[in-house]
Amino acid sequence: MESTHLLDGSKKRVKIHPHTVTAKYAPHTPHTHTHFPQPGDEGYDDAPSFEEFGSFLEETSDTKQLTGTRKWTGKAGALFGGKDKNKDTPPRPPMGGGEGGVEGGGKGAGGGVGEQLASFSEASVSASRLTWASVVLAGLAHGCVCVLTRLAASRFNLPPLTLLLVRSVLQLLYGTVPMKRAETAFGSKGYRRKLLLYGLTHSFSLCCAYSSLSFVSLGDDEAMLTTWRLATTVLSATLALLLLDERLGLVDLVTVATGVLGLGLVLVPNPTGLDQNNNGTGSGMPNGGTPAQQSAQFWREAFGWSLTVLAGLWMSLALVMYRSLKERVSVGTALFTVSWTGCLSTAVSMLLLQQGPVWPASLQAWCVVLGVAVCSAGGFVGVTNGLTRLHPALVSATQGLEVPVAMMLEIAVVPLVPSVCEVIGGVVVVASVGWLVTVKLLPSRGSGRKQREEYEEILDSPIK
């Protein structure tokens, strides 16, 4: 099949073969510009059109073999939104028959794309359910860590920094996990410096939080924990907005603010505890102390509270940093990094505070320390898994469950009566977390916007 076409006086010979299309041009005259004919010009209709070329391909045997597989082309057209350009072919019935072509051609492009997005959204929501389950379980594990830490300090006289050091040493065993998976324990090249900074910030946060317990009375450790979590939630939301440009939605913002309000209610002082401290029966400074002793005690506790806020700042930085490293660093590598940097930072903190290590002296004490290490490792895995899909502030707000969980466990172990504000604050925290999880997971079969909420959240992340 040959076709001739005039291009400003020059002749073009076109040969169309079932496999190739060959075009030969005449020698171009110097200083002569080639003019391509436009619709309505002479010679425009002489060239073969795409419709003629397509009909010629349909008449060849090789093309029939290529276009005979309607099953794959129907699904591909539905996936990419393509339409059938062959208008002579009658439409296939939407239902009936067992061939794949009926499925692809009958439902149309819009239906195929909708089904593909729906199936992808269902898979995303399923993964989101596992993510939220891991984050909630991490909050429960952190609540157990708080109770075991207080038990180790009150019953076995283990200093907080010693407990952190033993916990970090035991967690070094998890360094074998990335090694067995043929991963680099210190991170891949190009990301080792960021991974080191992440490990240091996380370790500094733990050192500040555990060191603050040494500057306050034993009865204020729960308030220190609440302050740490409150500062982490607020600062992580702020830093994620400033550093990563990740904004919270209206529902998420209201939920996080409600959780912060609940933590603030837990921090309201208990009038009974204040009366006990004023009467000299509590663990605070009695009224009979000298003004110098009272002033020293005041500044000592103020320094402890400052360390708690600083721990929240370091932890929020750690959450934001792992959020930016989640695609390059596995959970096992992150845990190993936090463990060995925790050993170094804890040793330095003990030297600065002049605290010697006090090792557990009984089997029960070792069981408590082992429980702290296991629960903290489980909580760390849940938090890091949640950071791969969720906003850092949402992860930190969900970890606020550790406050009411620790409160209930302490009530079950020690006969303590919480104040009204503590009960109301715990209920508000649990309600805010429950509402947040429900909003994220309940509309899995709703409208298109709600159906792909988690999927769009991941794609819109500026980190990617």
Query: pLDDT tens digit string along 40-54?
Result: 556 555 555 545 555
Give the number of other Cβ atoms within 10 Å of residue 309's Cβ: 16
Per mean pLDDT, which of 93-102, 167-176, 191-200, 240-249 is the most reliable? 191-200
Query: What is d(CA 438, CA 255) in angstroms, rounded to the nearest whole number?
Result: 11
> For 286, phi and psi rounded to 5 degrees?
-65, 165
Q: Residue 327, class by beta-carbon neighbours within 10 Å (0-12 exposed, 13-18 middle, 19+ buried)?
A: exposed
Residue with the bigger pLDDT between 144 and 62: it is 144
Per-residue pLDDT, 413 = 76
Please say whether the dihedral angle defined by the alpha carbons of residues 158, 162, 168 and 173, taken in this order, is positive or negative: negative
The 10s digit of each residue's pLDDT in 21-40 is: 555 555 555 554 555 555 55
DSSP state at residue 359: -
Rounded (10°) angle between helices 331-353 and 363-387 = 130
Confidence of residue 113 (pLDDT cuts 50, 70, 90): low
Amino acid, res. 447: S
Count the neighbouring beta carbons within 10 Å of the beta carbon of residue 381: 19
Q: How far apart, in whole angstroms, are the C-alpha atoms of residue 78 and residue 29?
A: 49
User: Would you state the structure tokens that stand for residue 313, as one six-digit string?
Assistant: 């700042």
Can you read off the two tokens belonging to residue 167?
């916990």
Domain ranges for the chain: 2-60, 131-282+292-459
Instruction: Please state the length of the chain.
Output: 464
Number of other CB atoms surrounding residue 111 within 10 Å: 13
